[in-house]
């Protein structure tokens, strides 16, 4: 495999190469963990599938991280379940980090 081909991100919906970070949407999926699709393919997927799928590289995910962190910090200070709240508070940021490591870092800004 040559150097240029290993940095291509392929859309899991249509199979085309995703050429820019602005056209990339990463989704949580099973068993691949992170699914990369075009923005247009995400629109088609959201119409076909039941239930909301928040893109991992969206502003909504940043809000979820802030809310999870604040709630877990609040509960951590109120209760004695230290490890449980730290673990729950780290789930969303960990998923976001995995998305960046697996897909998003391949794009040069």
Over residues 3-17, the pLDDT tens digits come to: 444 678 899 889 999
Q: What is the DSSP string of the chain?
A: --TTGGG-EE-TTT-PEE--GGGEEEEEETTTEEEEEEHHHHHHHHHHSSS----TTSHHHHHHHHHHHHHHHHHHHHSS-HHHHHHHHHHHHHHHHHHHHHTGGGS--
Average of per-residue pLDDT across 80-95: 75
Supply the pLDDT for residue 18. 92
């Amino acid at each position: 495999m040559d150097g240029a081909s290993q940095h291509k991100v392929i859309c899991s919906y249509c199979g085309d190469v995703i050429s820019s970070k602005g056209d990339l949407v990463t989704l949580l999926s099973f068993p691949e963990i992170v699914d990369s699709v075009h923005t247009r393919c995400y629109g088609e997927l959201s119409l076909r599938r039941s239930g909301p799928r928040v893109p991992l590289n969206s502003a909504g995910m940043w809000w979820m991280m802030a809310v999870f962190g604040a709630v877990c910090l609040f509960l951590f200070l109120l209760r004695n379940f230290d490890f449980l709240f730290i673990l729950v508070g780290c789930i969303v940021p960990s998923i976001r980090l995995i998305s960046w490591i697996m897909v998003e870092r391949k794009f040069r800004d």
